[in-house]
Chain A
Amino acid sequence: MLYSYLKIAFRNLGKYKGFSAINILGLAVGMASAILIFLWISHEISYDRFHEKKDRIYEAWNKGSFNGKLSCWNTTPKILAKALQSDIPEIETTTRVNWTDSYLTKFGEKTIMMKASVVDSTFLQVFSFPVLKGDSASALMNPTGTVITLSTAQKLFGNENPIGKILELNEQYQLTVTAVVQDPPNNSRFQFECLVPWSFLRSQGGDDDYWGNNSTRTYALLKPGTNAETANAKLVEFRKKYDRDDPKGGFFLYPIERWRLYSNFTEGVEEGGMIEYIRIFSIVGAIILLIACINFMNLSTAKSEKRAKEVGIRKVIGAMRHNLMGQFLGESILIAFLAGLLAIVLVQLTLPSFNTFTGKIVRLDYTNAWAWTLWFGFILLTGLIAGSYPAFFLSGFQPTKVLKGAFKKTQAAINPRKVLVVLQFTFAIVLIICTLVINKQINHARNRNNGYNKDQLVYYFMTGTTEKNYTLIKNELLSSGTAVSVTKTSAPLTEGWSNTWGINWKGKQENDRTLFDRFCADQQFVTTAGLELVKGRDFDLETHPSDSTAILLNESAVAAMGFKDPIGQTLQDNGRDWTVVGVIKDFILHSPFAKTQPMFIQGAKGWFNVIHFRLNAANSVSENLKKAASIFKKFNPSYPFDYTFVDEAYGAKFEEEKKMGSLAALFAGLTIFISCMGLFGLATYMAATRFKEIGIRKVLGASVASITTLLSKDFLTLVLLSFLIASPLAWLLMNQWLESYAYKTAIDGWIFLVTGVVSMLIAVLTTSIQAIKAALSNPVKSLKSE
């Protein structure tokens, strides 16, 4: 019996090849998208779940109020760990993780750049990074010891035993390899190639006990059986003890498991984060899947009406209702199964580009029983739902009626198939509108004046001996005609690395906690960056040697400080007096979607990490870069010439939005594609069922055009209805999305107009092919069939 069902199912697939292809492909594409989204989500929620003690590990967070807002952030004073350990009894141990830096690493002839994290000796006891060689307990005790990852060990030593080997870091420090750990998995916040003990940092004078320097991350392992809430309650007193003036500020412990998905705080209250994207994508995935299922159901039921005769015959020759139900359900499950197989193939094929796009390393785990169960469950469910209409509806027919040909579909105003088509197109149109709005917002921010000239501007991190040789490098860059101007700064122009509320000026209110971006530049800053000077002048050490303690303000800072005449005012920061020599227009330091912040730029007495130089437009870019490379090589021989174009760095600020935009476009495309397949299938079906009607109309003198219109009209009405439902929905959605941006575009009417016209066009194109084909057919054929 089962064999017989399978046989007829396959023969039916073969008989209606186009129809089956549409059906299977549509469902497969939907399933493949859902699987990809599922992989992405499961990777996101797996972040740092592999630590054995994950339930007890907390990250210390800081909070404080600035500009009247309560903010939370996860960098803390270095001294916090020690204080926590001595004051909070619930804490078993703490471990700190400092910024990850790249180090020039040498072993014999081999030189590599190695990403190193400075961590406390307890790091490997708190977090689970399996130690392959060496002893995890003592590996990070010795100030000259270091732990490297397996892949780094292989890069440096090949198959030799790495333990005891001595590495030279940045041509200054000698560290002995004490242990080898497995490479950190892709789904961890910790990405390092090497761990350097905190005691090393301390021996180099990089440690400090200053409560005002929030620069490191502190993790606490709670004792088993204790809870974070009691510890957090104790942290209120703790704060008072260690001198903080902000009544709302302080520290709190935040579970590491929530860091990846939540950890967005508004007014000190946890409010979403990555989880919002996960929700959005779950919904989108579900919708695409739903649309594909709807399609599948629509097409299956459309086809099953063709098979009413078969149902009649089978009933007459002895089939019971359950036999027929089994047959139809079995068939649709088989099709779903084929689609499921195709979906896996599609996922496997698209996975590499998906990984590039998302920056993840996810793969299909064929050994995961749970995933297979889910996959089979899904196929079964889709098959059951899609097969349920023919199974329950058709199998209930009176055979005499079907066989006499009395079986006619009712042309009701609302039938389920129409509802399903409207639903599909509503989703598709919403997604199209979202895509257009997102792209419009990106372009809007792109066209925003960033406040400086990005062209031909290059920056280089001052690695190795760059800082020592800065003057020489600068002079050679200028004299060789490679650059037209050079300045060193504290951070790249596209990144804010430091901010403070601790700056003082004349007339500052006592409770003023305005947060200023802190930036440093030695000289020719305005010229090099191409900023717009509003008042005063640029830093110029040659004519004004006192400019080493000069300061520039942006207009927002002038407004925040309330200066009528800012030039000549004195500001106090870090125990030094700075004299305002100029005022610049605000430029975009952070997000091009956000408002610009008050900012000051300190002179040559500040701290420096980066060289910015503007290339000489008289030469070609490649020529300039070649010369610059040789200059940097000359004065910083050990390090590669790693430079960045500021316009590229600025462009990277749009990455997230661009990804959102491409994703929305991708999903819109998929939805349209699947919906159109469904529409095409339905149009085919409709043309077939109205074959006779068309014949009669033609005999009575109808033109091809009038018949095409007649057949397409129905579908157009449905698409129009979808458009009317989708437009306000999309507007609400996008309005809410734009709310999160300070600098936002308007949702224009043309977006809706374009979407409406485009979706209509797509629908017309999809259906009219079938309609025209039907209209052109010879009426003799259709009329003789009875």
Chain B
Amino acid sequence: MIKLEHISKWVNQGNNRIFLLKDININIGEGEFISIMGPSGSGKSTLLNVIGMLDSADEGSYFFNDQPVHTLKEKQRSLLYKQHIGFVFQAYHLIDELTVYENIETPLLYQDTKSADRKAMVGDMLDRFNIVGKKDLFPANLSGGQQQLVGIARALIAKPKLILADEPTGNLNSKQGEEIMEIFTQLNKEEGVTIIQVTHSEKNAAYGNRIINLLDGRIEHNR
């Protein structure tokens, strides 16, 4: 599903070139659950953003479902990730002015889904995460765990094949974190959704079937 070949990304500081990613080669198949680990500043989030097509590499090739992403224009890229990828963030990144229902609905609006279909799909999501009673609340009225549930529901609403999660449990207590990881496992096992998460916690990393360790922009271990 995902093939990264010799991916490098850098910034220039004076005459020095500082590598954020250096010569990354990864193959990820459909249905995998990958955890990316590494210390702060090792390039985990950058790698995730490159995979998510929110950022582009300076060098190397990236194939998504055999499509050469590195040759696509920004507009084509965003069309591609819109269709296939859902994002989950550490800080949830819900829109404060929208209710739970509306937050989950928003991606469908951008995909021009019909009103009746939208209603059904959002209803399913609310059911599935047990947040029907919260649908008219604003994010500020929810706990962190609930907000992250909404964030996941929003990522899943468009039925993506790939979920990218940047420290999804980073702002949560351990119990809430466990719940989220359970949901990810369930998604991965039962629906075959490919999941790539960035995490600091060995415990959460263990939920995945493969761990990629990064250090200073390079892959240290690829277990």
Contact = CB atoms under 8 A, between A and B. Distances in A.
Interface of A: 1, 4, 7-8, 11-12, 15, 309-310, 312-320, 323, 398-400, 403-404
Given A314-B106, A320-B110, A15 B97 contact: yes
Contacts of B54: 316, 398-400
23 contacts: A4-B102, A7-B98, A8-B95, A8-B97, A11-B97, A11-B98, A310-B95, A312-B93, A313-B93, A313-B95, A314-B95, A314-B106, A314-B110, A316-B87, A317-B106, A317-B110, A317-B154, A317-B155, A318-B110, A319-B110, A323-B110, A400-B49, A403-B93
Interface in B43-85: 45, 49, 54-55, 75, 78, 82
B98 A316 contact: no
B158 interface: yes
B84 to A, nearest CB: 11
Given A11-B97, A12-B97, A318 B107 contact: yes
A403 B89 contact: yes
A191 to B, nearest CB: 58
A323 B82 CA distance: 14
Contacts of B154: 317
Contacts of B87: 316-317
Contacts of A4: 102, 106, 109
Interface string B149-176: 0000011001000000000000000000
B195 interface: no
A318 B79 CA distance: 8
A320 B97 CA distance: 20
**Which 4 A-B residue pairings sit nearest by Cβ, starting from the closest?**
A318-B110, A318-B82, A11-B97, A317-B107
Given A4-B106, A318-B158, A398 B55 contact: yes
A8 B98 CA distance: 7
B201 interface: no
Nearest to A312: B93
A312 B98 CA distance: 15
A399 to B, nearest CB: 5
B122 to A, nearest CB: 13
Nearest to A15: B97
A310 to B, nearest CB: 6
A15 B158 CA distance: 29
Contacts of A315: 78
B109 A1 contact: yes
Nearest to B138: A11
A346 B155 CA distance: 48
A313 B110 CA distance: 12
A8 B106 CA distance: 12
B94 A313 contact: yes
Interface of B: 45, 49, 54-55, 75, 78, 82, 87, 89, 91, 93-98, 102, 106-107, 109-111, 154-155, 158
Given A4-B106, A399-B54, A400-B54, A316 B158 contact: no
Nearest to A324: B110
Nearest to B78: A320
Contacts of B89: 403
B20 to A, nearest CB: 12
Contacts of B111: 318
A11 B109 CA distance: 18
B93 A309 contact: yes
Contacts of B107: 317-318
Contacts of A310: 95-97
B141 to A, nearest CB: 14
Contacts of A15: 97
A315 B106 CA distance: 11
A318 B159 CA distance: 13
Contacts of A323: 110
Given A8-B97, A310-B97, 13 more contacts: A4-B102, A310-B95, A313-B95, A314-B95, A316-B54, A317-B87, A317-B110, A318-B78, A319-B110, A320-B75, A400-B54, A403-B89, A403-B93
Contacts of B97: 8, 11-12, 15, 310
A400 B55 contact: yes
A315 B87 CA distance: 11
Contacts of A404: 45
Nearest to A323: B110
Nearest to B94: A313
A323 to B, nearest CB: 6
Contacts of A398: 54-55
A263 to B, nearest CB: 59
A475 B79 CA distance: 103
B117 to A, nearest CB: 14
Contacts of B155: 317
Contacts of B158: 318
Chain A CB within 10 Å — which of B91, B96, B111 has the most? B96
A404 B94 CA distance: 14
A11 B75 CA distance: 30
A113 B82 CA distance: 83
A320 to B, nearest CB: 7
Contacts of A399: 54
A504 B102 CA distance: 95
A398 B55 CA distance: 8
A560 B107 CA distance: 91
Nearest to B86: A317
Contacts of B94: 313
A12 to B, nearest CB: 6
A319 B98 CA distance: 15
A244 to B, nearest CB: 81
A319 B94 CA distance: 14
Contacts of A312: 93
Contacts of B106: 4, 314, 317
Nearest to B108: A318
A7 B55 contact: no
Contacts of B75: 320
Nearest to A10: B97
A310 B154 CA distance: 15
Listed residue (B49, B97, B107, B158) with the most chain A CB atoms within 10 angstroms of its CB: B97
Nearest to B98: A8
B150 to A, nearest CB: 12
A11 B99 CA distance: 11
A1 B75 CA distance: 20
Nearest to A313: B93
A460 to B, nearest CB: 73
A403 B87 CA distance: 12
Contacts of A8: 95, 97-98
Nearest to B106: A317
Contacts of A11: 97-98
B186 to A, nearest CB: 22
A309 B45 CA distance: 18
Contacts of A400: 49, 54-55
Contacts of A320: 75, 78, 110
A312 B44 CA distance: 19
